[in-house]
């Protein structure tokens, strides 16, 4: 089907035509409801000027511990913290005087698209806003009119419709074709849409040339506003904010460590994901596995098999409600009990209906709280259900608020595209039916998100923030009907508190079961990695076991020609150590790795060496693996930073240019303060203390001045 201003799919043609005919008639104006604000269109009587030059830092509200390179260096400049103010001449274009309708281009997936259900909901929200504006008088008694254009979304259609999809040449480049038609043929005053970030990117390039506002209520691609094209205005919190908020919830609030990702094979599933991957790494927990599926898939058995094998604590799901429901059913049927988290498109009534009990405990971010009892919100729900016979979800509700912001801006600015842009750019805060919005200089909404949790067949909501301080602050949840949620043992309306990070176990009392270093049923994990680096949690040695590391104190020297290096160091050993009972155990890496491994095991297990001094990169990697089992520190003389990137608490690295004598002196200096205890020695090295002029980060990397 060819799209354009005459595009009216059979299943919506009659309602759209009827609405536009009714709205254009003054006699058909409907009265405003009590909670519906009175709209007075100024028709550009007092147009706003350009937005003020302001700076908002940090960009997108990123917490300090989630910003790029924050632990290493401060940037000399930052992008996106100040407005990109339009300075062209379009404000001087005269206002037309012969219009019979004020056109707004609607660009969204209405048919032949895997997202058409979402597109129609977005259309309904925008449509209701236009109908109500026209009922209140439109633009000086001139009706607003939506010019419908289908976003075919060429990139996804083959995956959904296969070879039976429409193949006429017009679909290729359809986003640019439709944007050009709206901008030049139909002379719309703004483009509303789309959901697809690919199409929004293309429309925005046309808008740059045509000097035309593009307003979106559904796009979450963070790269769209980062084009620095001043004509974009977005109200849906983007993937950066969504995924950083989820990372804070998963890692800081809940203390989970191993997360698997399952995402749709689409730009929506792909483009925001790096924000979550980066946040996971910065919080010390790289994602363990990433699996993909095609939009519309219903069988997740292959992905579940791979995810199960990665032994995750949780799964992060990026997709839509039907896909999330199918995955949850199959995951629970397979006996997997891990927690599951989702992006904003995974949560809603469809999920509850299709997943049933399998959705219990599922959590996802959401742009607002649909359970609140605000009169404006409840009245909007009533009007929407009366008009479209379904509840408004996130796409419909955000479209309603966003279209109202656009209509208000047209009324304030008058019929001038640049001044309409000015009116939008001057919106720094907005209170709509969905709640309070906050806009940064990039003209995107950065209001805090909500976290929705499925419990007993319903969804409760609470504020969820990105910053670390608020992750353990008191929180209040609401259930359908706007009532505070309750938990067992609490009175209705009480405040629930998020679970704090597990405290680091007390190591003051180091006791072990008689069976040795690895008792069965160990209560605490071997180690944990958090925002402050890797930490060893035990098991701890008994006093009798620690006595085996003295008389003499042994250091393994492992690397090429270790015997010759050890011989050259022995005079230094007795000169610098406080006790004559020190020994160097030389293990050469010139021999086969099997023989070298056997010699290392003998030195660590039978001779109870206190530490290993690895002389080069290959030796350091093998020593690291054995020390991980023997619980002794390794000092590696190598430039390979991957040695300290594996979250092993026993490895410490110095540059390859460091001499073996300097490395040995550092270990001797450290032992004087820690005693002949491998764990105390490790803790001292990781503490950042100055040892022979050297100190380490908790990750094992040398601290740079």
- Residue 161 has a pLDDT of 46
User: Is residue 349 within 8 Å of residue 381, measured between CB atoms?
Assistant: no
Q: Is the dihedral of CA 67, 68, 72, 74 positive or negative?
A: negative
- Residue 649 has a pLDDT of 84
Residue 186, in any domain of the structure = yes
User: Is residue 253 within 8 Å of residue 230, measured between CB atoms?
Assistant: no
Q: Is the domain of 261 the same as that of 309?
A: yes
Q: Is the domain of 591 the same as that of 566?
A: yes
- Residue 271 has a pLDDT of 87
Q: Is the domain of 230 the same as that of 253?
A: no
- Whole-angstrom CA distances from 637 to 45, 481, 566, 612, 660 are 74, 63, 15, 11, 8
Q: Give the CATH number for residue 491.
A: 3.40.50.2300
Q: Is the domain of 349 the same as that of 475?
A: yes
Q: 0.85 cut: is pTM over it? A: no
- Residue 29 has a pLDDT of 36
pLDDT under 50: residue ranges of the chain: 1-32, 34, 155-157, 159-172, 474, 486-527, 529-531
| DSSP 3-state of 685 | helix
CA–CA dist 400, 129 (Å, integer): 5
Residue 140, in any domain of the structure = yes
Residue 94, in any domain of the structure = no
State the Cα torsion 586-591-595-597 to the nearest 10°. 60
End-to-end Cα distance, the chain? 66
Q: Is the domain of 662 the same as that of 581?
A: yes
Residue 302, in any domain of the structure = yes
Pairing state between β 474-475 and 496-497:
antiparallel
CA–CA dist 63, 531 (Å, integer): 12
* pLDDT tens readout for residues 218-247: 999 999 999 989 999 999 999 999 999 999
CA–CA dist 434, 450 (Å, integer): 12
Q: Is the domain of 113 the same as that of 174?
A: yes
Q: Is the domain of 335 the same as that of 382?
A: no
Containing 534, the helix (H) or strand (E) segment is: strand 533-536
Give φ, ψ of 526 to 5 degrees: -60, -45
Residue 3, in any domain of the structure = no
User: Is residue 46 within 8 Å of residue 166, measured between CB atoms?
Assistant: no
Residue 47, in any domain of the structure = no
Q: Is the domain of 406 the same as that of 554?
A: no
Containing 529, the helix (H) or strand (E) segment is: strand 527-530
Residue 695, in any domain of the structure = no
- Residue 175 has a pLDDT of 84
Q: Is the domain of 428 the same as that of 461?
A: no
Q: Is the dihedral of CA 608, 610, 615, 617 positive or negative?
A: positive
Q: Is the domain of 420 the same as that of 285?
A: no
Indicate the angle between helix axes 660-674 and 678-686, nearest 10 degrees. 110
Helices (H) and strands (E) in the chain, counts: 20, 25
Contacts of 91 (CB under 8 A, 6+ apart): 416, 418, 419, 422
Give the position of tokens 């190591």: 507
Q: Is the domain of 426 the same as that of 457?
A: no
- The count of domains in the chain is 3
Contacts of 206 (CB under 8 A, 6+ apart): 176, 179, 180, 183, 212
Contacts of 230 (CB under 8 A, 6+ apart): 83, 84, 85, 86, 421, 425, 443
Residue 249, in any domain of the structure = yes
| Residue numbers of the domain that contains 471 | 239-366+448-497
Q: Is the domain of 255 the same as that of 198?
A: no
């Amino acid at each position: 089907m060819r799209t354009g201003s005459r595009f009216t799919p059979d299943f919506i043609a009659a309602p759209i035509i009827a609405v536009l005919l009714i709205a254009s008639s003054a006699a058909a104006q409907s009265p405003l409801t009590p909670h519906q604000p009175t709209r007075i269109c100024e028709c550009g009587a007092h147009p706003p000027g350009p937005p003020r030059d302001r700076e908002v830092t940090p960009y997108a509200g990123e917490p300090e511990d989630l910003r790029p390179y924050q632990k290493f260096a401060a940037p000399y400049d930052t992008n996106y913290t100040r407005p990109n103010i339009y300075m062209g001449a379009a404000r001087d274009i005269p206002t037309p005087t012969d219009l019979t309708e004020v056109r707004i281009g609607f660009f969204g997936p209405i048919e032949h698209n895997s997202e058409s259900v979402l597109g129609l909901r977005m259309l309904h929200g925008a449509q209701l806003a236009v109908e109500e504006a026209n009922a209140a008088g439109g633009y000086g008694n001139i009706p607003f009119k939506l010019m419908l254009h289908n976003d075919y979304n060429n990139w996804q259609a083959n995956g959904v419709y296969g070879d039976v999809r429409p193949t006429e040449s017009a679909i290729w480049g359809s986003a640019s074709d439709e944007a050009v038609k709206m901008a030049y043929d139909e002379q719309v005053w703004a483009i509303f849409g789309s959901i697809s970030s690919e199409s929004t990117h293309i429309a925005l390039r046309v808008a740059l040339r045509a000097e035309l506002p593009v307003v979106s209520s559904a796009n979450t691609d963070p790269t769209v506003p980062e084009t620095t094209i001043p004509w974009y205005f977005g109200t849906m919190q983007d993937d950066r904010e969504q995924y950083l908020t989820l990372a804070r919830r998963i890692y800081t609030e809940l203390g989970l460590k191993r997360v698997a990702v399952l995402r749709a094979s689409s730009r929506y599933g792909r483009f925001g994901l790096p924000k979550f991957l980066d946040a996971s790494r910065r919080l010390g927990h790289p994602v363990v596995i990433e699996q993909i599926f095609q939009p519309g898939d219903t069988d997740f058995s292959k992905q579940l098999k791979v995810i199960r094998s990665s032994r995750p604590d949780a799964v992060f799901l990026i997709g839509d409600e039907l896909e999330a429901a199918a995955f949850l059913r199959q995951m629970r049927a397979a006996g997997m009990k891990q927690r599951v988290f989702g992006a904003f498109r995974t949560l809603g009534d469809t999920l509850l209906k299709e997943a049933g009990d399998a959705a219990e405990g599922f959590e996802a971010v959401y742009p607002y709280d649909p359970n609140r009892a605000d009169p404006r919100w409840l009245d909007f729900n009533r009007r929407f259900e009366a008009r479209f016979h379904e509840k408004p979800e996130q796409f419909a509700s955000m479209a309603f608020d966003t279209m109202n912001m656009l209509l208000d801006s047209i009324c304030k600015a008058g019929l001038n595209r640049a001044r309409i842009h000015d009116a939008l750019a001057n919106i720094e805060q907005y209170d709509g039916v969905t709640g309070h919005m906050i806009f940064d200089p990039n003209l995107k909404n950065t209001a805090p998100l909500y976290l929705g949790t499925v419990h007993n067949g319903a969804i409760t909501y609470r504020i969820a923030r990105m910053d670390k301080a608020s992750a353990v602050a008191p929180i209040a949840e609401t259930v359908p009907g706007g009532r505070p949620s309750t938990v067992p043992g609490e009175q209705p309306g009480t405040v629930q508190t998020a679970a704090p990070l597990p405290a680091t176990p007390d190591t003051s009392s180091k006791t072990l079961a008689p069976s040795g270093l690895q008792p069965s049923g160990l209560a605490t994990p071997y180690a944990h990695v958090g925002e402050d680096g890797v930490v060893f949690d035990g098991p701890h040695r008994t006093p009798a076991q620690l006595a085996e590391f003295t008389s003499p104190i042994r250091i393994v020297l492992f690397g090429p020609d270790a015997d010759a290096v050890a011989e050259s160091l022995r005079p230094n050993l007795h000169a610098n150590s406080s006790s004559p009972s020190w020994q160097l155990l030389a293990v050469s890496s010139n021999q086969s790795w099997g023989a070298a491994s056997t010699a290392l095991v003998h030195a660590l297990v039978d001779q109870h060496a206190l530490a290993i001094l690895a002389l080069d990169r290959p030796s350091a990697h093998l020593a690291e693996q054995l020390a991980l089992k023997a619980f002794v520190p390794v000092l590696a003389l190598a430039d390979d930073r991957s040695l300290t990137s594996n979250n092993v608490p026993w490895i410490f690295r110095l540059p390859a240019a460091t001499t073996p004598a300097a490395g040995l002196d550092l270990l001797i200096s450290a032992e004087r303060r820690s005693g002949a205890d491998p764990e105390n020695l490790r803790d001292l090295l990781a503490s950042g203390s100055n040892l022979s002029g050297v100190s380490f980060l908790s990750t094992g990397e040398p601290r740079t001045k």
